[in-house]
Amino acid sequence: MVSDNVPQDVGRAPRSQQRQTVAPPQNLESLGARVLCTIDGKEVRVPVGTTILAAARELGIRIPTLCNHDDLCVAGVCRVCVVEVEGQRTLQAACAYPVTQPTKVWTHTRKVRQARRHIIDLLLADHYGECYACSRNNNCELQSLAKEYGVDFFRFGHPEKPRYEIDRSSHSVVRDMNKCVLCRRCIRTCIDLQEVGVLEAIHRGHDTKVATFLDKPLAQVVCINCGQCINRCPTGALRANDPTDDVWAAIDDPTKHVVMQTAPSPRAAIGECFGQPAGKAFTFELNTALRHCGFDKVFDTNFTADLTIIEEGTELIIRLYKALVQKDKSVALPQFTSCSPGWVKYIEHFYPQYLPNVSSAKSPQQMFGALIKTYYAKLQGIDPKNIVSVALMPCSAKKFECNRPEMCDSGYKDVDYGLTTRELGKMISEAGIDLPAMPKSDFDDVFGTATGSGVIFGATGGVMESALRCVIELVTGKKVENFYEHAEILPVRGFEGVRYVEIPITAVGPVPDLVKHLVPDWNWLKGATLKVGVCHGTANAKKVMEDIKAGGKFSECHFIEFMACPGGCLGGGGQPIPTTPAIRAARAKAIYSEDRAYTVRKSHENPVIQHIYKEFLTDGPCGHVSHKLLHTHYTARGKYIP
């Protein structure tokens, strides 16, 4: 059941995600009042305080914007959306003008068109760079506006040389402030949407720029590498640190064996890079395209997502047994998930005292890397130094994660390169491949077998749902379908910022062989209530962590899933641009549809997982071998305790 006792404000959408309205005057008869708005002769009644931009969208009237974004709070700084409002002396910004009384608006008068053209000209006067060499060429909002408003020369000039040095210090994000148009989307994303606060506008007038604390490089501030700023930047001022040239070089090197693992979220979104609608998965077409690109093997990250569930779930059982049965007060509960490297970086910076609560299990990406250069290398008779391991991820923070110094338990760098969905889309296009036209093909063995539980990792709540499918069956000895239709644990699904769920354990079964070496029986869990939490976006993570600090409801949880990005991995900083709540919902639908198509939908039933514990990880989950390869320990600021 979903608890009604979630603390006030926890789970509420951040200010940046709420409907774009402005507070109406206090003398209104009721907050539910509606008012007539007439735009270009069309009438609509909207709630008092609704912006002109929102009203226009209800009428299907397009007003161009630049600083506005569906995920972010109102700013009204770019003025591209100016309109004429009857009774107003000057043009008004449609994104920030509240309709509080009957209002007449014109959106495309000569005065409006001329003002917009001049605004775009002024933006271009400070925008340095050649479009054809930009990462956002043909997907740049400034470029599109310039075309729309007929910009065919630089009315107010154009920079002849860059003003700022490009910041390439981060493994994840590259900042080129020469292309910045001061829309402040990145600032609002970092402060409001994620509540990290790395970026801010400094100086005034023509000298205004977006900068970090003391204008330091990104690698020297508290950036969590989530890349959400990239997804909302309208130009090429922010982009991911792209290793595709190195990947091509590895593919072209005959001495290298190049393998690719693909995560579920990119497969549900990469079609967008090829003009396909959001929500259409190209999992098996992508396999074929990758082989055409030259990758020697294509594996499924969902395999190690299943492995993560076994290792992380076993760790939770160990913690609970020590705390509840052995009365070990040193055990850190609730246990936090560790799949999201942006979340791990966040807790390292802002809540280091809670690092013992973070699961020691590596993310599926890093587990895969360790297995590729040990188990797989031995199985195939390949020297690990000649294996190049590439990961297709929805996340720019994965680039940072694979470069963490502790991620080399195989004796080599476990994952050599992390590619975003956008970067792989570019590689496929460069190879002359039309992805949607590719025939379907399966993943390669030995890591081609996965389950539906691995697939749903890509959506917020997916890790928790996968874990619960496993835990419920292992503890009760009954099929999860007996409790939840189609094994779909709906209480942990959804896009609410935070979810709290209680699951009573009314009966227990025998301890399965997989964990028999850890606990003698399940009697200590009979009659207990498993309390779990789910949150996505670090603004919501902050709410949960502050609630835990205050001894609130979430401090009573046993297990909490944290994802750094809104919507989970499907809303990651490496996904196709644009991203909106509707696009994230469509991607989630594709992920859940794939889950339903799998025959095996629970991690512990994956036959290859069972085989690998018998053949390679022989001392079982959380045993010595798995701890060496599949686990790590985080402490403040990324220091590592072996």
- Asked if 579 and 227 touch (Cβ cutoff 8 Å), the reply is no
Partnered with residue 533 across adjacent β-strands are 500, 560
- Asked if 535 and 525 touch (Cβ cutoff 8 Å), the reply is no
Burial of residue 4 (CB within 10 Å: 0-12, 13-18, 19+) is exposed
* CB within 8 Å of 214: residues ≥ 6 apart: none
Burial of residue 161 (CB within 10 Å: 0-12, 13-18, 19+) is exposed
Give me Rg for the CA atoms of the chain: 26
- Asked if 297 and 260 touch (Cβ cutoff 8 Å), the reply is yes
* Strand pairing category for 200-202 and 209-211: antiparallel
Alpha carbons 230 and 212: distance in angstroms, whole number: 15
Instruction: Report helix, strand or coil for 152.
Output: coil
Q: What's the 3-state SS for 392-441?
A: EECCCHHHHHHCCCCCCCCCCCCCCEEEEHHHHHHHHHHCCCCHHHCCCC
Alpha carbons 402 and 571: distance in angstroms, whole number: 20
- Asked if 591 and 458 touch (Cβ cutoff 8 Å), the reply is yes
Q: Which token pair is 489? A: 């644990």
Query: Catalytic residue positions?
Result: 312, 315, 339, 359, 398, 401, 406, 569
- Asked if 454 and 305 touch (Cβ cutoff 8 Å), the reply is yes
In terms of phi and psi (left: phi > 0; alpha: psi -120 to 50; beta: otherwise), the region of 274 is alpha
Q: Which token pair is 220? A: 């020297």
Alpha carbons 633 and 491: distance in angstroms, whole number: 31
* Strand pairing category for 103-106 and 200-202: unpaired
* Residue listed under structure tokens 């605004």: 119
Nearest to 540 by CA among 570, 557, 559, 562: 562
- 205-212, long-range: CB within 8 Å, 24+ apart, which pairs? 208/182, 209/164, 209/177, 209/180, 209/182, 210/177, 210/180, 210/182, 210/184, 210/186, 210/237, 211/177
* Residue listed under structure tokens 């280091």: 352
* Residue listed under structure tokens 């928790």: 464
* Residue listed under structure tokens 């040389």: 161
Residue positions counted in the chain: 642
Q: Tell whether omega for the bond before 356 is within 30 degrees of 0, i.e. cis.
A: no
Partnered with residue 85 across adjacent β-strands are 105
Helices and strands (DSSP H and E) totals, the chain: 20, 17
- 247-254, long-range: CB within 8 Å, 24+ apart, which pairs? 247/388, 247/390, 247/417, 247/419, 247/427, 248/427, 250/388, 250/390, 250/416, 251/293, 251/294, 251/295, 252/294
